[in-house]
Structure 1
Amino acid sequence: MNQDYCCPISGSPFTHVHWPDHHPVGLVMDGVAIPGLGEQIYQWGGGQPFNAECLYVATRWEAVSDLSPWLVWLSGPEDPVLEGFLEQGAVKEQGYLLVSATDRATCTRWMRSHLQVEMSPGCDELVRIAHPALARTVIGGNLPRFPTRAVDRLIVPDRISEQWHLIEPPAVQSGSTVDQPGKMMAAPDLSSAFEAFDRRKDALQIWNSLEQSVRNQLGGPELRDAYPALGKTLEEARGSGCNSLREVMQFLFATLPQRADSNPVTETAPHWIKDEQ
């Protein structure tokens, strides 16, 4: 997999990446991160026609469609839905872009085949496939190996580096036209991707709760500068037996220089950490 920085996340990636002439471009958005996503897409569309798919519809997960990822097929780099997403959702990692290697219907079926994973025989779990950090590994990391080449490349926002990532396989491969099975199967590399996603999510949740003075001690004030130290501290905390975010926060403050005349754990830990059982 080739993965390169493309351009700052504050702008459109299509100022640096050519809009493909013969391949559909889709915007995948996370229904967990954007409440009322279907209505939001409609508002961004401004009454103009658009082609959108709620990916849980027509699957066994249709009952929880309020949390479903959506796939919107874009009309061009100035598509109003894309413009709305770029203004509000990209910097929050609420979705990503994909360039299809096939037609829209086939690519949509392929995306639906990656909504769930069988972690053990008869035990299926939903995959948050619309989150860009997870898509980078689950989809982007496997582009050369998928039997069906439905996705040509991904364009993914990264909050930590504040850049768009362009993810594409090392070489174009001729894939099979056979449909993927109805779900993914658990494998060691897939489990590692899920664990890395959970660790990253915890790190960002803790970062959001930290005061500026603590961020500076970690190498901030920008997340991209502080994240290596933050990630290392969290790994050490987990290795020391810290299992909850509250315990991780306490470990973090114990390893940082103490601020005079203050109790950082009490002052900085937000309500969801202090009240955690």
Structure 2
Amino acid sequence: MNQDCWPVSESPFTHVHWPDHHPVGLVLDGVAIPGLGEQIYQWAGGQPFNAECLYVATRWEAVSDLSPWLVWLSGPEDPVLQGFLEQGAMQEQGYLLVSATDRATCTRWMRSHLQVEMAPGCEELVRIAHPALARRVIGGNLPRFPTRAVDRLIVPDRISEQWHLVEPPAVQPGSTGDQPGKMIGSPDLKGAFDAFNRRKGALQIWNNLDESVRNQLGGPDLMDAYPALGRILEEALGSGCNNLREVMQFLFATLPRQADRNAVMETAPPLDQG
């Protein structure tokens, strides 16, 4: 993949030309944004917009409150895009895609990749609207999908504080479209999901550390502290820690001096929680 980067504090379309003949969509994460449909309406500010709840008309419609939404944008000044840039980009609440086809075909393609078949007849939902996961699962396979529905992804990265442009190489030697129309469990996909869960766990830990601990890890900025934080997380998991509290206790025991114990959460979810 070719990748270019720009500060997430700026609109990516300051650096990327808005395509003349390809639809641009904003994929928003219903897990990260409660009441997402209402939030889109508020961002639109009374202006007409074209948005689709991706769980509607699928077997997952019963949990549509957590559904990703796909908003088709009218241009770089679209009010929904502006609302996302102001509130959601830095928090990794969604990402942008440039379609390689028409809107309806791209929407059908996104719906077909909402789940992964981990075993014959056993499907699980994938958090496809999270930029870190989409960058690996969609962006990493753009040259190989048999249906070229997505041309490029533009994803925000909270850790580096940058936008990343993800697109397939201009020349794709040996590309035979060997990916099926739906996602099927594989070692590569399992690796992508495991990496996403570890990254999510590291960010949960970061959110619960005070300034003194962050500074010991190389902070106060996340991008500076993340290498040490990620390394300690790997060591903690390898030592048998399986929830956030245990990992943070391991972290305090690992740092050169003991940190403020008040940073430990009284109750913490498992690190691999969806």
The answer to whether TM tops 0.5 is yes
Aligned residue number for residue 184 of structure 1: 183
Contact 2:144/2:176, CA 8 A, preserved across alignment? no
Contact 2:245/2:265, CA 8 A, preserved across alignment? no
Gaps of 5+ in 2: none
Q: Distance in 2 between matches of 1:252 and 1:232?
A: 10
- TM-score computed with the length of structure 2 as normaliser: 0.93
Q: Which deviates more from structure 2 when the two are superposed, residues 164-173 or residues 42-51?
A: 164-173
**Aligned residue pairs, count:** 268
Aligned residue number for residue 152 of structure 1: 151
2:266 to 258, 264, 271: 271
Contact 2:245/2:266, CA 8 A, preserved across alignment? no
1:270: Cα distance to partner? 2.3
Q: Distance in 1 between matches of 2:229 and 2:54?
A: 35
Q: Which deviates more from structure 2 when the two are superposed, residues 234-243 or residues 31-40?
A: 234-243
1:77 paired to 2:76: yes
Q: Distance in 1 between matches of 2:4 and 2:149?
A: 21
Taking the TM superposition and a 5 Å limit, the aligned residue runs for 1:64-213 are 64-171=63-170, 181=181, 183-213=182-212
Q: Distance in 1 between matches of 2:180 and 2:21?
A: 23
Contact 1:23/1:101, CA 8 A, preserved across alignment? yes
Gaps of 5+ in 1: none
Q: Distance in 1 between matches of 2:236 and 2:176?
A: 45
Contact 2:24/2:97, CA 8 A, preserved across alignment? yes
1:171: Cα distance to partner? 1.6
Contact 2:142/2:150, CA 8 A, preserved across alignment? yes
Q: Distance in 1 between matches of 2:72 and 2:49?
A: 7
Misfit runs of 4+, over 2 Å: 270-274
Return the letter of the residue paired with 1:224.
M
Return the letter of the residue paired with 2:114.
L
Identity of aligned residues (%): 82
Q: Distance in 1 between matches of 2:241 and 2:49?
A: 47
Q: Which deviates more from structure 2 when the two are superposed, residues 41-50 or residues 98-107?
A: 41-50
1:180: Cα distance to partner? 6.2
Aligned residue number for residue 214 of structure 1: 213
Aligned residue number for residue 16 of structure 2: 17
Q: SS of the counterpart of 2:156?
A: strand
Q: SS of the counterpart of 1:161?
A: coil
Return the letter of the residue paired with 1:202.
G
Taking the TM superposition and a 5 Å limit, the aligned residue runs for 1:246-261 are 246-259=245-258
Q: Distance in 1 between matches of 2:4 and 2:246?
A: 36
User: Cα deviations across residues 17-47 of structure 1 (Å, max 9, x unaligned)?
Assistant: 1111110000000000000100111111111
Please tell me the root mean square deviation across aligned C-alpha atoms, in Å.
2.1
